[in-house]
């Protein structure tokens, strides 16, 4: 299988799904002629034309609203929000319309839309181009939220998301677009939503991490294991809602220790929900406190490079947390 960057895997997935099914359309700000601000949709307009690759006004509520209407009428829309930071005008459409459509219609209507959105910091994006606000959406039943960072996972989960009968928020960490690559089959395939992936097997400590921090967690775990007589299990949830709590619980019941690592602010973050699940269902197996590494309690990520770096955690911070937890 050829190696592909994350951005290449997502683009290839879009090309293949649009070629296979004329119901798949792409809409959003600058997705056509420009090919998207990150060039994810580059080439789609030339291949599929203006009727299926639609440049929209700068109006996120309308982007999602049009996608919902198209889905009700038999289309499979993939709506792009240029940055996750810009999604707030569409919150009502996502949370009160798309997520509730099946429930409020007693199953008569489905809402098979995908909302793609780049997220995360570390790219000097400052306040309005760096946010990780996935927890706002994982709170909503009826809405699926996925955040694959491995190119293989991203292509397969995109196909699954497009053909899922319910709305899916598909988060793409912008720092990873051109930094991560893996083997990706040329042919279409699916990676199921709601299933975690264990990237390292271990017996002494469990790390659950997603987004760019997954890379930092893997680096920290590998360094620790190379120097210590201990093994660490590293889990990538991939799907944040539905969350594969069974995989996390099984790992914690084996290792007895849990470290959760995510870029979003700690207070109200998804790490708190994972902590609660483990505390409720695996408390008797714990040999130490559940620990979290997360964003600091400040309103936004600064533009200044030193301040941006102070906001972000790296493998050294995670390594220090591993050592503290392993000492119990």
CB 52 within 8 A of CB 26: yes
Which of 124, 129, 139, 163 is an active site residue?
Answer: 129
Q: How far is CA 177 from CA 102, 119, 155, 171, 269, in A?
A: 33, 11, 13, 12, 24
User: Catalytic annotation on 173?
Assistant: no
Q: Where are the alpha helices (DSSP H) in 144-203?
A: 151-162
Q: Give the number of other Cβ atoms within 10 Å of residue 29's Cβ.
A: 20
3 state SS of 255: helix
Q: Which two tokens stand for residue 21?
A: 């099914």
Dihedral-angle region of residue 107 (phi above 0 means left; psi in -120 to 50 means alpha; beta otherwise): left
DSSP state of 211: T
Instruction: Return the active site residues.
Output: 129
């Amino acid at each position: 299988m050829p190696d592909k960057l994350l951005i290449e895997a997502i683009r290839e997935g879009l090309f293949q799904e649009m070629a296979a099914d004329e119901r798949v359309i792409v809409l959003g700000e600058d997705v056509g002629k420009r090919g998207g601000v990150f060039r994810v949709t580059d080439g789609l307009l030339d291949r599929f034309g203006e009727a299926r690759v639609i440049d929209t006004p700068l109006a996120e509520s309308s982007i999602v609203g049009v996608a919902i209407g198209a889905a009700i009428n038999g289309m499979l829309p993939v709506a792009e929000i240029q940055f996750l930071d810009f999604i707030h005008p569409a919150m009502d459409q996502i949370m009160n319309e798309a997520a509730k459509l099946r429930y409020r219609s007693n199953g008569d209507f489905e809402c098979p839309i995908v909302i793609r959105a780049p997220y995360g910091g570390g790219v000097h994006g400052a306040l309005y181009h760096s946010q990780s606000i996935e927890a706002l959406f994982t709170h909503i039943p009826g809405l699926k939220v996925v955040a694959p960072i491995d190119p293989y996972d991203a292509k397969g989960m995109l196909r699954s998301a497009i053909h899922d009968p319910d709305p899916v928020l598909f988060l793409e960490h912008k720092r990873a677009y051109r930094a991560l690559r893996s083997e990706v089959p040329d042919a279409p395939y699916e990676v199921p939503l709601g299933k975690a992936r264990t990237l390292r097997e271990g017996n002494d400590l469990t790390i659950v991490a997603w987004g760019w921090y997954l890379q930092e967690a893997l680096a920290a775990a590998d360094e620790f294991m190379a120097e210590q007589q201990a093994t660490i299990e590293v889990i990538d949830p991939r799907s944040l809602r539905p969350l594969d709590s069974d995989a996390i619980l099984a790992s914690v019941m084996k290792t007895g220790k849990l470290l959760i690592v995510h870029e979003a602010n700690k207070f109200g973050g998804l790490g708190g929900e994972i902590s609660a699940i483990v505390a409720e269902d695996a408390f008797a197996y714990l040999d130490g406190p559940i620990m979290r590494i997360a964003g600091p309690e400040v309103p936004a990520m600064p533009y200044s490079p030193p301040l941006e770096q102070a906001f972000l955690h790296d493998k050294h911070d995670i390594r220090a947390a591993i050592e503290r937890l392993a000492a119990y």
